[in-house]
Amino acid sequence: MSALLAFLIFVGILAAFGGFLIVLSSSLGPRPKPNPAKNMPYESGVAGTETNESRISVKFYLTAILFIIFDIEIIFMYPWAVSFMDFVKSGQGMYILGAMGIFILLFVVGLIWEVKSKALDWNN
Amino acid sequence: MGKDGLEITLNIVKMLVIFLVMVQLVPVLVWLERRVSAFMQNRFGPNRVGPLGLIQLLADAVKFLFKEPFFPEKGMAVMYYGAPIMALIPGALALAAIPLGTPFHLEEADWNLFGFIPLGHHPAYDFILQGYDFGVGIVIVLGVSSLGAYSLLMAGWGSSNKYSLLGALRASAQMVSYELALGLSLVGILMVFNTFSFYDIVAQQNPANPLTFNFLGTVHTMPWWIPNWGIFYNPLGALIFFCASFAETNRLPFDLPEAEGELVAGFHTEYGGFALLMFYIGEYGHMMVASALMATFYFGGYTIPYVSNEAVATFVSNTHHFLGAFDLSIHSNWAAFVTSLCFFVSMLVKILFFLLIFIWVRWTLPRFRYDQLMDLGWKTMLPWALFNTCLTAVWLAISHKPV
């Protein structure tokens, strides 16, 4: 509990420190008159056409969705990994191996299906 | 201020010290990066400001502070200014969760400052060289360090620039893809060590024990000159972890988000001055976290190679004149402190070694193309990490006889 409180206070301190640096650097620098050409987004000299509402490739959404699924599956393996040797030493090695084997099989089938359905292809 | 108050204060002070060490290491690392890059390219690098150019980054930091503040025309202020602040947080939090030395035991004593200012009576206390300990070890490090993707996304989205947005999207897609391989590559070594706790992991790599392999109930002991390191138990996992940590920190050969030829500077195109420096602090913080994890899991952590932890403690507590002032054989608290310090130096050397490799690789390998990068992450490293997990599981299951 005390570790968690210290952790949260430290996050607050870091955010305050970062904010202080931003405020400090933006108050110390020179402030010349605003200039429309300078305020434009830097796009190699061409007048910027896109904003943050512009459309982006669906590949990025697919990657994000697939990441969430696979990451949760990997997180499930962590408790299994640290209790694996306890099962092996108590003679239940094959049971724990088989139980996780089914889970990993589903994982592999999912991965193969994704590769086959070209959800992970970026070159087209 | 009760016991909890003391604990909280101590934890915050430790985290602040670790954070400041991280921030202070950044100029040194940038200097090292520029000098090593120059050395590899047969140039001089920064060598004018101060001895060997060491003061260069201090001068740069002052210059950064006095840069003109810039805010892009259509930008979103909360995102734009929040991103560099967000960049500082994950690296510092993750680094604070990794132990940098053995915990040292302070005995019950009347403490005083400089020998005469009394500080009151203190009970025995175990001081850990770690910002905070939630008891979940590696899980919290992986959890907070992956928050780094938020800072990139905020920067890209907030600056309202085509290049920034594309750079941020690339960066976050790359980070999440390689996070899978990173997380999965650690499963094998966690199975070998059978714990989440960093202290237990390092204790199992104590050089006092030789490297042993258990095969079908017989124990094979390796010769003494092979250190008892995690990399020998799980070499494939170490390789995948190492590659994935490059992608996680957005370093070459995986620095697609900042590919100059395509995206100017990626997600920080619109940044300048100190905000840009804060992104660099975040990036170098991530590199330090990756190096510290690499050292802890695969290279013996804070242990000193070939010298057992007990031998270090015995050697220190038998030292009669430390810096001509303390007789460590009498002051057991100081002996515990100096022992911890030895381990801390060993950890620091290992971290710096891996940071040097980060810089070295930068000038060794060319950059990937984006589709190659995603293919490598999803179709090569993820299956290999999965194979490593299965191989380790089967090996451990068949090689250990049930007790």
Helix/strand/coil (H/E/C) assignment for every residue in B55-106: CHHHHHHHHHHCCCCCCCCCCCHHHHHHHHHHHHHHHHHHHHCCCCCCCEEE
Residue B152 in 3-state DSSP?
Answer: helix
Domain that holds residue B370: 60-399
Q: Quote the minimal CA–CA distance from B340 to chain A in Å.
A: 22
Question: ipTM > 0.95?
Answer: no
Residues paired with residue B49 on neighbouring β-strands, in sequence order: none
Q: Which residue is associated with the tokens 């976290």?
A: B289
Residue of chain A whose Cα is closest to the Cα of B385: A74
Residue type, B248: E
CB contact under 8 A, A10 and B382: no
Start-to-end CA distance of chain B, whole Å, equals 49
Highest-confidence segment of B148-157, B255-264, B333-342: B148-157
Residue B257 pLDDT exceeds 70: no
Q: Which of B66, B157, B390 sits opposite A104 (nearest CB)?
A: B390
Residue B218 pLDDT exceeds 60: yes
Residue A124 pLDDT exceeds 80: no
pLDDT at residue number B275:
86
Region B221-240: mean pLDDT is 87
CB contact under 8 A, A51 and B74: yes
User: Is residue B143 one of the residues assigned to a domain?
Assistant: yes
d(CA B100, CA B130): 6
Residue A77 pLDDT exceeds 70: yes
Give exposure, B62-81, as e/b (b: 16+ Cβ within 10 Å). Answer: eebbebebbebeebeeebbb
Q: What domains can you pick out in chain A, each with its CATH number?
A: 2-116 (1.20.58.1610)
User: Is residue B119 one of the residues assigned to a domain?
Assistant: yes
Domain count, chain B: 1
d(CA B12, CA B18): 10
Q: Quote the minimal CA–CA distance from A24 to chain B in Å.
A: 7
User: Is residue B43 one of the residues assigned to a domain?
Assistant: no
User: Is residue B337 one of the residues assigned to a domain?
Assistant: yes
User: Is residue B55 one of the residues assigned to a domain?
Assistant: no
User: Is residue B33 one of the residues assigned to a domain?
Assistant: no
d(CA B273, CA B260): 19
Give percent helix, percent strand, percent coil of chain A, each to the nearest 5: 70, 0, 30
In order of B148, B205, B221, the CA distances from B210 in angstroms are 38, 9, 7
Report, in angstroms and rounded to the nearest whole number, the Rg of chain A calculated over CA atoms.
Answer: 26
Q: A35 touching B, CB under 8 A?
A: no
Mean per-residue pLDDT over chain B, rounded: 83
**Stretch among B310-314, B348-352, B390-394 having the lowest mean pLDDT:** B310-314
Q: Quote the minimal CA–CA distance from A80 to chain B in Å.
A: 8
